[in-house]
Amino acid sequence: MNQLQKTDPEIYTIIEQEKKRQQKQINLIASENYASKAILEATGSVLTNKYAEGYPGKRYYAGCEHVDSAEQLAIERCKKLFSVHHANVQPHSGSQANMGVMFAALKPGDTILGMSLAEGGHLTHGHPINFSGVFYNNVQYKVHPETNMLDYDEIEKIALECKPKLIIAGASAYSRIIDFEKFAYIAKKVKALLLADIAHIAGLIAANMHPTPVGHADFITSTTHKTLRGPRGGLIMCRKEWAEKIDKAIMPGIQGGPFMNVIAAKAVCFKEALQPNFKEYQQQIIKNAKVMAQEFIALGYDIVTGGTDNHLFIVDLRTKNINGRLAEQILEKVGITVSRSCIPFDPQKPWITSGIRIGTPAITTRGMQEEQAKEIVRLIDEALQSHDNEKTLHSVTLKITKLAKKHPIYC
């Protein structure tokens, strides 16, 4: 019996149940992944005990020599991985990273221009119910109504009209290449700062599988737990001239003591991402996403933008007379987790939606390739088409369980 089991059998049981769920289900949530055992060990280490307000060498607490080394390693590896001048690895999450940039660069009431949540952006890019939409004057850009792709001419037009102080490039549900160079051109033209939020595509960028915003953006924010496959957390990278302001915005600006256990785990994540096999992993993520999108199309589904260049895509379910929420529920029943997702200009409410977002980082971590990716699409189709047939749903569940068993998370 381990210590957790003795101290708190309820939480122990919940964790064991969650472990089983993760092993049993096929995870197509584009923002999730399975961190390595090494990352889990660092996250669960004694570093969680340490207070270290401040930065390496300049702490407000004694006894920081070892955590200083951990943070310094994380910073150096992050800088090497993305070829940047400055990295702050303390943001507790992607949202905190975005808040840190806005706190450093803006005054309340300044105008920000970001992608609307309903068209694929993120809450922190200026949604009215988020701090970013409450404290700042938010203007939102959408996608082109016909192609559903970013429309740089339109973004330029909006920027010229609203004269934002900050433009945000980046998305949670956009399957195409983001042209950071074009965003930088627009930002320069209207004298705005540019924030590239690479939370979703950080792994692809680190592996040179998506054009980098480095050299184009003033600030780059990210999460570490999506394609990057690290612990839950955030980070900010920036130009030299912003380094001090960014560090001050994170601490003492918006955060207190950093999570040193998570920072150590971020260091491990960056080390893993610097290995040659990380590039192969990212390549396979894209191959799997492309083949799945093609298979959906072959089965008569509409894919927003007609395909994907990255790790995710959105299935428009309207031709199948099913909404996103129902699809999410049916698929969970057979052991597949997906996120329901708005399609651009969605006629349905955000709680219901007309689509589902499919992502391949997690199945690719399990070693699944094109063959398995295609099989999963066929099983999704079977479940959605026959969702009131319990016999079919049972047979799909068995196939999913078998597939998951063949590709365990931690071998």
Ligand X SMILES: Cc1ncc(COP(=O)(O)O)c(C=O)c1O
| Torsion of Cα atoms, 242 then 126 then 226 then 324, to 10° | -170
Task: Copy the structure tokens of residue 104.
Answer: 């450093």
Task: Copy the structure tokens of residue 328.
Answer: 């999410």
Integer Cα distance of 199 and 188 in angstroms? 23
Q: Are 360 and 289 in contact (CB under 8 A)?
A: yes
Helices (H) and strands (E) in the chain, counts: 16, 15
Integer Cα distance of 189 and 132 in angstroms? 23
In this complex, which beta carbon is closest to ligand X, that of residue 170 or of residue 335?
170
Contact region with ligand X (CB under 6 A), list: 91-99, 136-144, 271-279, 377-385: 91-99
Confirm or reject binding of residue 95 to ligand X (CB under 6 A): yes
In this complex, which beta carbon is closest to ligand X, that of residue 273 or of residue 291?
273
Where do runs of H (alpha helix) occur along 274-323? 276-298
Integer Cα distance of 207 and 252 in angstroms? 33
Q: Is 20 a catalytic residue?
A: no
Q: What angle do CA 144, 147, 149 make, to 5 degrees?
A: 60
Residue whose token pair is 């998506």: 210
Q: Which residue in the set 25, 26, 28, 31 belongs to the binding site for ligand X (CB under 6 A)?
A: 31
Task: Copy the structure tokens of residue 95.
Answer: 């949202």
Residues 207-226 that bind ligand X (CB under 6 A): 223
Contact region with ligand X (CB under 6 A), list: 47-55, 68-76, 194-202, 308-316: 194-202
Confirm or reject binding of residue 361 to ligand X (CB under 6 A): no
Q: Is 197 a catalytic residue?
A: yes
In this complex, which beta carbon is closest to ligand X, that of residue 94 or of residue 203?
94
Confirm or reject binding of residue 93 to ligand X (CB under 6 A): yes
- Annotated catalytic residue within 12, 51, 152, 185: 51
In this complex, which beta carbon is closest to ligand X, that of residue 124 or of residue 308?
124
At its nearest, how many Å lie between ligand X and the CB of residue 91? 8
Q: Which residue in the set 71, 119, 156, 197 belongs to the binding site for ligand X (CB under 6 A)?
A: 197
The 327-346 contact track toward ligand X, x by CB under 6 A, reads: --------------------
Using CB under 6 A as the binding criterion, the count of chain residues that bind ligand X stands at: 15
User: Residue 221: phi, psi to the nearest 5?
Assistant: -115, 155
At its nearest, how many Å lie between ligand X and the CB of residue 99? 9
At its nearest, how many Å lie between ligand X and the CB of residue 96? 7
Q: Is 53 a catalytic residue?
A: yes
Task: Copy the structure tokens of residue 207.
Answer: 């592996």
Q: What is the DSSP string of 358-372?
A: EE-HHHHHTT--HHH
Confirm or reject binding of residue 357 to ligand X (CB under 6 A): no
Residues 108-167 that bind ligand X (CB under 6 A): 122, 124
At its nearest, how many Å lie between ligand X and the CB of residue 120? 9
Q: Are 122 and 109 in contact (CB under 8 A)?
A: no
Q: How far apart, in Å, are the Cα atoms of 58 and each of 64, 70, 79, 98?
A: 9, 14, 20, 24
- Annotated catalytic residue within 50, 77, 165, 232: 232
- Annotated catalytic residue within 226, 229, 366, 399: 226
In this complex, which beta carbon is closest to ligand X, that of residue 183 or of residue 301?
183
Residues 251-270 that bind ligand X (CB under 6 A): none
Confirm or reject binding of residue 382 to ligand X (CB under 6 A): no
At its nearest, how many Å lie between ligand X and the CB of residue 110? 19
Q: Are 345 and 148 in contact (CB under 8 A)?
A: no
Q: Which residues of 374-391 are buried (b: 16+ CB within 10 A; e: fewer)?
A: bbbbebbbbbbeebeeee
252 preceded by a cis bond (ω within 30 of 0): yes
Task: Copy the structure tokens of residue 387.
Answer: 């969702």
At its nearest, how many Å lie between ligand X and the CB of residue 140? 14
Q: Is 301 a catalytic residue?
A: no
Q: Name residue 164's amino acid.
A: P
At its nearest, how many Å lie between ligand X and the CB of residue 234? 6
Confirm or reject binding of residue 229 to ligand X (CB under 6 A): no
Q: Which residues are catalytic?
A: 51, 53, 197, 223, 226, 232
- Site residues for ligand X per CB under 6 A: 31, 93-95, 98, 122, 124, 170-172, 197, 199-200, 223, 234
